[in-house]
């Protein structure tokens, strides 16, 4: 089940809950497989390997890079993958209110794609060790650490979603540039066309291309001009205009900066003396 991570975060922020148990399972532990989930909802944090569980008939593969939630008293089926080893930590929690709708996240099964997060693994292992100590301080630390674990998991999901969204936007804008580089494009017009501000546009290009959008556009134009110089006898000034650069002197200066020689010298070197 796909969920909105912001809605889940809001649910956890407004719903009082308490840790009821933390259990560490691995292959061949001697624990028999159950037919139903526990009487409390819980989060599963896979540590290694993979195993499949079905919550009310919906399959989920427990493997590193994801967190799985199961509601209370759900029909449960288990499937092993050949001789593969697996290990996960289960955290059960109790909702401390009676006014919780049956449609709330705590009554549902879902998966959170978190990716690789060494910090999350570190927090989970700390949570496991603290829970197994005695005393009021360890009980208090368990509650605080579990919230830290959930916070880190939610941040991982949000960051992955933002990264995927920014990469998709980057591909859309660069495709548009490749198809319209010869027109009078500007960073302002690109930002307006794709409904992002200039700072966001600059961040996306530096993240995925290692340069700003203006530099990316200019480099693409110069590279297209380089191909035209090599394959045609069109005058340099006309080539500059063809790739969207109206100032021939600026074009020559930028071309020389990128290739080390002027457009005319480049043509003489590679066309008149191909060897």
Residue 70 lies in a domain: yes
At residue 163, does pLDDT exceed 90?
Answer: no
Beta-strand relationship, 42-49 and 86-95: antiparallel
Mean pLDDT of 24-48: 84
- Spatial distance between the Cα atoms of 89 and 84, rounded to a whole number of angstroms: 17
Residue 171 lies in a domain: no
Task: Answer yes or no: do 151 and 218 share one domain.
Answer: no
Residue 60 lies in a domain: yes
At residue 185, does pLDDT exceed 60?
Answer: yes
Task: Answer yes or no: do 147 and 78 share one domain.
Answer: yes
Task: Answer yes or no: do 157 and 26 share one domain.
Answer: yes
Identify the CATH number of the domain in which residue 272 sits.
Answer: 1.10.10.60
At residue 2, does pLDDT exceed 80?
Answer: no
- Spatial distance between the Cα atoms of 55 and 77, rounded to a whole number of angstroms: 7
Which percentage of the chain shows pLDDT scores above 90?
A: 68
At residue 210, does pLDDT exceed 90?
Answer: yes
Given a contact cutoff of 8 angstroms between Cβ atoms, the answer to whether 43 and 90 are in contact is yes
Task: Answer yes or no: do 194 and 152 share one domain.
Answer: no
Question: What is the model's pLDDT at position 30?
Answer: 56
Q: At 98, give phi and psi (nearest 5°).
A: -100, -10
At residue 102, does pLDDT exceed 80?
Answer: no
Given a contact cutoff of 8 angstroms between Cβ atoms, the answer to whether 45 and 25 are in contact is no
pLDDT, one tens digit per residue, over 78-91 is: 888 876 789 999 99
At residue 275, does pLDDT exceed 70?
Answer: no
Task: Answer yes or no: do 189 and 132 share one domain.
Answer: no
Task: Tell me, rounded to whole angstroms, the distance of Cα 3 from its chain centroid.
Answer: 15
Mean pLDDT of 48-68: 93
Question: What is the model's pLDDT at position 176?
Answer: 94
Phi-psi region of 233 (alpha: psi -120 to 50; beta: other; left: phi over 0): alpha
Instruction: Output the 3-class SS for the chain.
Output: CCCCHHHHHHHHHHCCEEEEEEEEEECCCCCCCCCECCCCCEEEEEEEECEEEEECCEEEEECCCEEEEECCCCEEEEECCCCCCEEEEEEEEEECCCCCCCCCHHHCCEEEECCCCHHHHHHHHHHHHHHCCCCHHHHHHHHHHHHHHHHHHHHHHHHHHHHHHHHHHHHHHHHHHHHHCCCCCCHHHHHHHCCCCHHHHHHHHHHHCCCCHHHHHHHHHHHHHHHHHHHCCCCHHHHHHHCCCCCHHHHHHHHHHHHCCCHHHHHHHHHHCCC
Q: In this structure, which long-range contacts are made by residues 128-134, counting pairs with CB atoms below 8 Å and at least 24 apart in sequence?
A: 128/22, 128/24, 128/89, 131/19, 131/22, 132/22
Q: Identify the band that residue 103 occupies on the pLDDT scale cut at 50, 70 and 90.
A: low
Mean pLDDT of 180-192: 92
Residue 173 lies in a domain: no
Mean pLDDT of 206-210: 91
Task: Answer yes or no: do 118 and 10 share one domain.
Answer: yes
The dihedral built from the CA positions of residue 152, 158, 161 and 166, taken in this order, carries a sign that is negative
Question: What is the model's pLDDT at position 29?
Answer: 56
Question: What is the model's pLDDT at position 233?
Answer: 85
Across all residues in the chain, what is the average pLDDT? 90
Number of domains in the chain: 2
Q: What domain range is 270 assigned to? A: 181-275
Q: Identify the band that residue 272 occupies on the pLDDT scale cut at 50, 70 and 90.
A: low
At residue 42, does pLDDT exceed 70?
Answer: yes
Residue 174 lies in a domain: no
At residue 28, does pLDDT exceed 70?
Answer: no
Mean pLDDT of 248-266: 92
At residue 45, does pLDDT exceed 70?
Answer: yes
Given a contact cutoff of 8 angstroms between Cβ atoms, the answer to whether 26 and 86 are in contact is yes
Within 10 A of 171 (CB to CB), how many other CB atoms are there?
Answer: 11
Could you report how far apart the first and last alpha carbons of the chain are, in Å?
A: 62
Identify the CATH number of the domain in which residue 10 sits.
Answer: 2.60.120.280
At residue 230, does pLDDT exceed 80?
Answer: yes
pLDDT, one tens digit per residue, over 164-180 is: 888 999 999 999 999 99
Task: Answer yes or no: do 37 and 110 share one domain.
Answer: yes
Task: Answer yes or no: do 26 and 154 share one domain.
Answer: yes
At residue 273, does pLDDT exceed 70?
Answer: no
């Amino acid at each position: 089940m796909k969920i909105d991570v912001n809605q889940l975060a809001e649910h956890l922020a407004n719903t009082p809950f308490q840790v009821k148990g933390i259990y560490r399972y691995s292959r061949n532990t001697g624990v028999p497989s159950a037919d139903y989930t526990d009487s409390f909802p819980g989060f599963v944090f896979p540590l290694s390997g993979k195993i499949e569980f079905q919550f009310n008939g919906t399959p989920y593969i427990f493997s590193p890079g994801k967190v799985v939630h199961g509601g209370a008293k759900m029909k449960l089926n288990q499937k092993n993958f050949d001789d593969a080893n697996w290990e996960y930590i289960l955290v059960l929690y109790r909702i401390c209110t009676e006014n919780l709708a049956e449609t709330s996240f705590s009554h549902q099964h879902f998966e959170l794609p978190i990716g690789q997060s060494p910090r999350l693994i570190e927090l989970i292992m700390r949570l496991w060790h603290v829970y197994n100590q005695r005393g009021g301080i360890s009980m208090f630390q368990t509650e605080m650490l579990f919230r830290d674990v959930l916070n880190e998991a939610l941040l991982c999901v949000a960051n992955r979603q933002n990264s995927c969204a920014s990469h998709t936007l980057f591909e859309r804008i660069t495709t548009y540039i490749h198809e319209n580089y010869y027109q009078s494009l500007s960073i302002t017009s690109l930002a307006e066309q794709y409904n992002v501000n200039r700072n966001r546009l600059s961040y996306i290009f530096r993240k995925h291309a290692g340069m700003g959008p203006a530099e990316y556009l200019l480099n693409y134009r110069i590279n297209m001009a380089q191909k035209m110089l090599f394959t045609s006898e069109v005058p340099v000034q006309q080539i500059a205009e063809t790739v969207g650069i109206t100032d021939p002197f600026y074009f020559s200066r930028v071309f020389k900066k990128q290739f080390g020689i002027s457009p005319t010298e480049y043509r003489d070197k590679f066309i008149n003396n191909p060897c």
